[in-house]
Amino acid sequence: MAEEAVLGYLEKNEEISDSGKFAEEKGISHDEIVNVIKSLNGFRLVDAQDIKRERWMLTQEGDMYAKDGSPEVQLFLAVPPEGITREKLQEKVEPSIYKIGCTQAIKNKWIEMGKLEVSRKVLLSENFAIELKSDLLYFPVECFTEDVQHVDDRVRDLLIQIQNGYSVKKGPEYISKRKKVATDLTRENLQRDDWKEIEFKEYNFLAKGQPTECGCLHPLLKAFGNGKVMQPTTHLLTVASHLTYLPFHGILRKFEEMPTNNFVESSFWNFDALFQPQQHPARDSHDTFFLKEPSTTRSLPEDYVERVKRVHESGGYGSRGYGYEWKREEANKNLLRTHTTAVSSRMLYALAQFSMYGMSREECSCDLGPFAPKRYYSIDRVFRNEAVDRTHLAEFHHIEGLICDCGLTLGHLIGVLHDFFSRLGMSKLKFKPAFNPYTEPSMEIFSYHEGLQKWVEIGNSGMFRPEMLLPMGLPEDVQVIAWGVSLERPTMILYGIDNIRDLFGHKVDLSLIKRNPICRLGL
Ligand code: PHE
């Protein structure tokens, strides 16, 4: 209808000089007319020019003052010649009128405010010449910038600028009525066989398509890196493996991946096998998620359990043990593994069994009997009953590495850690003596964060204790150096993410995940 009005008008007239006035005359909203003009202008059916002249109108408040008088006039008129109490005056006028009106009328010296009484200071007739009401009454409904320039500041505050309009002439492609072209070929067109007559809209090959939504790799997946996929829990890596260059699996390619596909673990492998005493605070339900169903493990290697019990209770292998009564029920309790070191303990136990019975002396690299050095690693989910904040989640990932050989020292561990972290772009490292029940010596690993300009703790490490390795059946001269790092911490550093919840979990910031480049080069 608006389109017909514009095109129809131009058929008989030279020009629409002002779209605003035109809209008013036709009783169509100006917005609608403007939309039509823009669209017709786009197809060159009309030639539209902006009208640059600003136009002004009274605001709603201005409208009100024009009708009833300014607040001070309303207030003045409410004060009878004989005066009135403040209280009564307040009842007579609106609260907002009272407030502004009093201030303004006192300033104009029209009224006097006593403690209780309000009285007029001037005669009624003197005021009409100066009052705002008359200014506004003679103010045109709409006026142009030139008129506004001469207006008193207060009046000006009661005006708003109204939207620019267009002047419109016929364009080069002008037609008085646009033909409606079809955009779809419908089933009805085919049934009625009228499609041959229909004029279809031309394809616009230059139109931009809808932005495509596509999958993207999660930064953690990228940090997992390019590697052999050994087990079901890391099958997602197949997607990432040919694309990613950030590289835990890559860095660890000379290491064998340990099978981490059991989130549920027994306390035995998670703690006891690691020489972690049963009273240790980490074994508390405040720190660990215990399972209700099934609450206990089905089987454990009995002879090994016996050796573990003995080393906890009374030591052996040169140790005094802890000297407490070790309880099988405690070891049987199922939990969500709190670290991937549970996997390492299973793996080392399996290695010890294999070493003792499965390998010939010729196949081994050292003289200590049937034993082959090993390099193992794992990257997978761990769980801790932790309060969630910017840097802690109850569910996150560990990267763990261990090397098992004879003659290893703390020097080897430090060297390996330097090598591992420098490949991630973290070459400034510091080590701090620490304590773990399963390692001695133990070291916390710190890296200098250039962005934060401070040392940040990135991992934990150490040499597994004889109290852990010897009951497993590993030869006495075999040492194991090991380290554990959360996957999230270095990923946050590398991707500049300062809230772990943006990276992983149900509050993940999807736009951040999408924004990140598909792969990181240069590391
Ligand atoms: N298990 C340790 C942790 O949870 C990491 C670690 C692994 C420490 C191996 C020493 C040796 O942080």
Query: What confidence tens digit (pLDDT) does each residue in 276-304 have?
Result: 999 999 899 889 999 999 999 999 999 99
Determine whether the shortest distance from the Cβ of 436 to ligand 1 is under 6 A.
yes
Q: What integer pLDDT is reported at residue 311 of this predicted model?
A: 98
484 lines ligand 1 (CB under 6 A): yes
Cβ–ligand 1 distance for 486 under 6 Å, the answer no
Residue 6 has pLDDT above 80, yes or no: yes
Residues linked to residue 120 through DSSP beta bridges, in sequence order: 111
> Which is nearest to 260 in space by CA: 224, 287, 223, 300?
224
Q: Which residue has the higher pLDDT, 109 or 380?
A: 380
User: Among 421, 410, 423, which residue's Cα sits nearest to residue 447?
Assistant: 421
Provide ipTM, 2 decimals.
0.98
- The mean-pLDDT minimum among 195-204, 305-314, 316-325, 467-476 falls in 195-204
Distance, CA 477 to ligand 1 centroid (Å)?
A: 22
The architecture that CATH gives domain 250-264+339-515 is 2-Layer Sandwich (3.30)
- The 159-162 sheet, strands edge to edge: 142-144, 55-58, 159-162
pLDDT band with cut points at 50, 70 and 90 for residue 176: confident
Render the burial of 252-272: b for 16+ CB within 10 Å, e for the rest: beebebbbbeeeebbbbbbbb
Report the distance separating Cα 415 and Cα 406, nearest Å.
16
**Burial, 411: exposed, middle or buried (Cβ in 10 Å; 0-12, 13-18, 19+)?**
exposed
What are 77-120's pLDDT values in tens digits?
888 888 899 989 999 998 988 988 888 888 888 888 888 888 88
**Distance of CA 484 from the midpoint of ligand 1 (Å):** 4
Q: With 70 as the cut, is the pLDDT of residue 360 above it?
A: no
Q: Is the CB of 20 under 6 A from ligand 1?
A: no
461 alpha carbon – ligand 1 mean position (Å): 6
d(CA 344, CA 464) in angstroms, rounded, equals 11
pLDDT, tens digit, 9 for 90 and up, residues 19-75:
888 988 888 988 899 999 999 998 899 999 988 666 677 777 777 777 777 788 888
Highest mean predicted confidence (pLDDT) among 186-195, 235-244, 263-272? 263-272
Residue 168, φ and ψ in degrees, nearest 5: -130, 135
> Atom 9 of ligand 1 has which residue's CA nearest to it?
483
Q: Is the CB of 483 under 6 A from ligand 1?
A: yes
Q: Which two tokens stand for residue 135?
A: 């200014």
